[in-house]
């Protein structure tokens, strides 16, 4: 069993805006690229160009079609990665101490040299955020790009997780939740940010911002004038073509 720190100096994490995420998967590609091409062990793929490809990803985007009480169905995109929980069950269940939570910033990491690939942390995680790398035989997870955010050799604007840096719709935000006046803390207050599956009692640090209400698609829509047919019956060449096709 691995102990969790009683408190952490900072609480670094993400705020993900479900209203502005467009499901482009740029964050997935950036995460895969950074964690495969940089200092860490590559995130392996198995049969990537075959009929049954699989691989290790630290960040995934799920898309859902939702039917509201009124209006047309809507598509929502839901990015998901490790939530760096305050009461992280993946840490306390680890038999070797490979999984741990850092005191200085609250980031949950895996020491791959101590990981035996038993999979207990994956079973304990209620969010499915742990992945066993089939090539390495060890568990891997989001690190909040700890090798970027403290890297003084990078420009200041690049010292942020790769997924945040690359998001084209500014749906991902990174900061310190221990600071009530930080950008992420203000976003959560102002937009009613919420925890994913709070009933699990894990205290996830990462938060989600709910989608804003959409306008109803009614005749009063601003597009309604442009949807009215120009003529009851087609005329000219189109009229002749329509009648010719009817005779076929």
Over the stretch 62-107, which tens digit does the pLDDT of each residue have?
999 988 777 778 899 999 999 999 999 999 999 999 999 999 999 9
pLDDT digits (tens, 9 = 90+) for 129-175: 999 999 999 999 999 999 999 999 999 999 999 999 999 999 999 99
Model confidence band, residue 220 (pLDDT cutoffs 50, 70, 90): low
Q: In the chain, pLDDT over 90 holds for what percent of residues?
A: 75
Nearest by Cα to 91 from 121, 58, 132: 121
Q: Tell me the pTM.
A: 0.83
Going 64 to 145 to 136 to 102, the CA torsion angle's sign is negative
Q: Is the pLDDT of residue 1 over 70?
A: no
User: What is the predicted pLDDT for the residue at 41?
Assistant: 65
Please compute the mean of the pLDDT values over residues 218-229 and round it to a whole number. 62
Model confidence band, residue 248 (pLDDT cutoffs 50, 70, 90): confident
3-class secondary structure for 40-93? CCCCCEECCCCCCCEECCCEEEEEEEECCCCCCCEEEEEEEECCCCCCCHHHHC
User: What is the predicted pLDDT for the residue at 238?
Assistant: 78
What's the token pair of residue 185? 């803390």
Pick the CATH number of 12-209 from 3.20.20.220, 3.30.70.20, 3.90.1150.10, 3.40.1390.10: 3.30.70.20
């Amino acid at each position: 069993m691995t102990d969790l720190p009683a408190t952490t100096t900072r609480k670094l994490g993400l705020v993900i805006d479900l209203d502005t995420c467009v499901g482009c998967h740029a964050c997935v590609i950036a995460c895969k690229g950074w964690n495969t091409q940089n200092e860490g062990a590559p995130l392996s793929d198995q049969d990537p160009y075959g009929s049954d490809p699989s691989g290790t990803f630290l960040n995934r985007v799920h898309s859902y079609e939702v039917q509201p009480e009124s209006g047309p169905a809507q598509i929502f995109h839901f990015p998901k990665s490790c939530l760096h929980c305050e009461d992280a069950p993946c840490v306390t269940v680890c038999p070797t101490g490979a999984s741990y939570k850092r005191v200085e910033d609250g980031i949950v990491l895996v020491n791959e040299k101590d990981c035996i690939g038993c999979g207990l942390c994956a079973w304990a995680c209620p969010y499915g955020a742990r992945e066993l790398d089939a090539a390495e035989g060890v568990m891997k997870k989001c690190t909040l790009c700890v090798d970027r955010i403290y890297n003084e050799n990078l420009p200041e604007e690049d010292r942020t997780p790769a997924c945040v840096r690359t998001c084209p719709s500014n749906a991902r935000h990174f900061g310190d939740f221990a600071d009530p006046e930080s950008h992420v803390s203000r976003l959560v207050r102002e937009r009613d940010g919420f925890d994913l599956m709070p009933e699990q009692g894990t205290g996830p640090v990462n938060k989600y911002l709910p989608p804003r209400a959409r306008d109803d698609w009614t005749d009063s829509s601003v597009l309604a004038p442009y949807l009215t047919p120009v003529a009851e019956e087609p005329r000219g060449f189109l009229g002749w073509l329509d009648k010719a096709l009817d005779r076929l």
